[in-house]
Structure 1
Amino acid sequence: MVTRTAPTPEDERARFVERFGSSLTAAGFPRLPARVFACLLARDSGTLTAAELGEALAVSPAAVSGAVRYLETTRMIHREREPGSRRDVFVVADDAWHDVMINSSATYGPITATLREGVGLVGGRRTPAGHRLALSVEFLEFITEEMKGIATRWEERRARLG
């Protein structure tokens, strides 16, 4: 007979990290950055060093380095210097989703500029390709404008949440 012990809080946290990481991966995120993001979200402090991330996720320091670089690029986390130390800690903001979504202009700006330039390069708006690129520009500009209103409404709602 196998005796099972009740899962510890750390076991439950690890289970959540893997489950949420899998959800993000299914949505298109690279696997390890998804797990790193989930791991940081699930910590009360919202911070871990590269060594702590490696240990928590059973991955190499090199793998952690690539994952955090991806997450910093997407603005999902940021790096801080641990007070009184030379070690970096990786930090997820309490409102990380807000930061990622609201900074869409930083993401979409260069894409929109390139698409806008491409309209002329493929023969202008009257060509099927030019029309498609122009429509993409209009959509991304629309999304960027809408995000400003969403940000305002979220800040009002968050204030009500306390």
Structure 2
Amino acid sequence: MPGARLTQQDRERIAAGLADKLSYGEIARRLDRPTSTITREITRNGGPTDYRPQQAHQATIQRARRGTPVPPRADTPPGSAMEEEFLERALRAGMPRIAAQVHLDLTLSEDGRRTAAELTRRLNVSPASISVAVNFLAQQGFVRRERDPRRRRDIYVVDDDAWYNAIMTSERQTLESARATMAAAETYGLDSPVGQRLAKTAAYLERVSLDVMESAERWRTLLR
């Protein structure tokens, strides 16, 4: 039943769904549960890559015996299906879990700004984990750093251009791959089967990347 607690069998089915790379929504439909229930279950028990059904079930039993419910996570407040879906999609796209949490917290903050100390406190993770997450997001173009000269601390910012920057960063990396692939094609010889295959791949990657960058630039005004 949708309102009943998850059983050991339910958790085994969740693990099987994760192994089959099903979305949280699909797993929820197969178990006749809300997507928010499945998302909370997975995120509080290791995430999609480290979820273990037996350990998750035992942890739930122990919490019930202690009578102490799990405190709500900063990235998934109770009843916020939209935020849970946001986090799920980021994880499915390959973003590391803490990086996804940082990105979500910054995106939903009033002014899109947090210090490292604020992120550490809100997400209940170590400063080192925040540093790794922010470095990843900055490399991908999702956040930028600003320096507070008065307090001598960094402030992490997600602004209106975040997705534009992320897209452009990704496509520049793809262009680099296209050029490396073309260099490899020339090494093998453009008249050889391998060289021809690599040259076609390089041309495709280059054309798509340039098209995406042109489109991102053309529609950038929508972010302003």
Q: Which TM-score band applies after superposition, normalised by the shorter structure?
A: 0.7 to 0.9
RMSD: 2.7
List aligned pairs for 1:9-158, cutoff 5 A: 11=77, 17-121=83-187, 123-156=188-221, 158=222
With the length of structure 1 as denominator, give the TM-score of the two structures: 0.77
**Aligned equivalents of 2:155, 2:94: Cα separation in 1:** 26
Between stretches 15-24 and 73-82, larger displacement belongs to 15-24
**Aligned equivalents of 1:125, 1:13: Cα separation in 2:** 58
Code of the residue aligned with 1:132 in structure 2: it is R
Aligned sequence identity (%):
33
Code of the residue aligned with 2:178 in structure 1: it is T
Secondary structure, counterpart of 2:196 in structure 1: helix
**Aligned equivalents of 2:207, 2:114: Cα separation in 1:** 37
Secondary structure, counterpart of 2:219 in structure 1: helix
Q: Cα–Cα, structure 1 residues 78 and 14, in superposed 2: closer, same or farther, change >3 Å? A: farther
| Uncovered stretches (5+) of structure 2, i.e. residues with no partner | 1-71
Code of the residue aligned with 1:30 in structure 2: it is P
How many residues align structurally?
150
Secondary structure, counterpart of 2:179 in structure 1: helix
| Uncovered stretches (5+) of structure 1, i.e. residues with no partner | 1-6
Secondary structure, counterpart of 1:28 in structure 2: coil
1:64-99 deviation line (CA, Å, top 9, x unaligned):
111111111111111110252210011111231122
